[in-house]
Structure 1
Amino acid sequence: MTSTPSRLAPLGLAAVLGVMGFLHVRTPKHFDSLIPERLPGDARTWTYASGVVEVACAAAVAVPATRRAGALASAALFVAVFPGNVKMARDWSGRGTTLRTLAYARLPLQVPLVQWALKVRREA
């Protein structure tokens, strides 16, 4: 039998992805500034696209039949958005000690997110 934390891990991951995806679409302005300038097109398109991908990953993780693929896609997504987090940290360097600290403290948080997604994949 699977332990309760293991059964809840995919649902928690799906919830995090779903909420973040919804926020990307609902309040895109905040996320636009995270889009690296070197990406082609405008930031809003990338913001909406990443939100849609997050929601798709959430749905895939939530459904047992697609969980393994969805979790792997989620891990890849967490790696793919890391440059945006680095951009945010650099951009926030001039915003005061608290915001700068928060921005830089956020960077290593991608590691447990990737690990979480890979754990969900292994246990699917």
Structure 2
Amino acid sequence: MGVSYAVAGVLHFVVPELYAQIIPPFLPFPLVLVYLSGIAEMALGIGVMVPRTRRLAAWGLIALLLAIFPANIYMATNGVVVEGAGMVLDPSPAERWGRLPLQGVLMLWAWWYTRSPPADSL
């Protein structure tokens, strides 16, 4: 899980214009939000890979997933087509709406990392 988030965070800096397009218009400074969420994804992704910071980073990922949920709602309800970096991403309505429950699955996955390790593994 940590590697996935770390890579996703790096992509926020490689193709920020793609991520900025799904920021709802009522939120200011979309590029700043893309960079901040990218930093958070990288830091929290690395954090869940380190036993000492795993629990706190997992709670941070849950908070991050809640924070970015409006972007997924915006994408689903407005049929956002993401264009840039020589790509056009036009997910089907099923894919757009499917991202919403996927956020719940990702939160459960992160929550799993918040649990204390069994005593015999210490």
Q: Which stretches in structure 1 are left out of the alignment for 5+ residues? A: 1-12
Please name the residue that 2:9 is paired with: 21
Assess, with a 3 A threshold, how the Cα gap between structure 1 residues 46 and 102 changes in structure 2: closer, same or farther: same
CA distance in 1, matches of 2:61, 2:53: 12
What aligned pairs does 1:57-72 form with structure 2 within 5 A after superposition? 57-72=44-59
Aligned residues: 109
Assess, with a 3 A threshold, how the Cα gap between structure 1 residues 93 and 101 changes in structure 2: closer, same or farther: farther
CA distance in 1, matches of 2:114, 2:42: 17
Q: Percent identity of the aligned residues?
A: 35
| CA RMSD of superposed structures (Å) | 1.8
CA distance in 1, matches of 2:20, 2:55: 30
Query: Retained in 1: the 8 A contact 2:54–2:114?
Result: yes
Please name the residue that 1:54 is paired with: 41
What aligned pairs does 1:1-124 form with structure 2 within 5 A after superposition? 13-40=1-28, 42-92=29-79, 99-124=92-117
When you count helix as a share of all residues, which structure comes out higher?
Answer: 1
Deviation at 1:93, TM superposition (A): 6.9
SS of the residue corresponding to residue 36 of structure 1 reads coil
Segments ≥4 residues shifted beyond 2 Å:
none
SS of the residue corresponding to residue 62 of structure 1 reads coil
Assess, with a 3 A threshold, how the Cα gap between structure 1 residues 92 and 53 changes in structure 2: closer, same or farther: same
Query: What is the TM-score normalised by the length of structure 1?
Result: 0.80
Q: Which stretches in structure 2 are left out of the alignment for 5+ residues? A: 82-89, 118-122
Query: Retained in 2: the 8 A contact 1:93–1:100?
Result: no
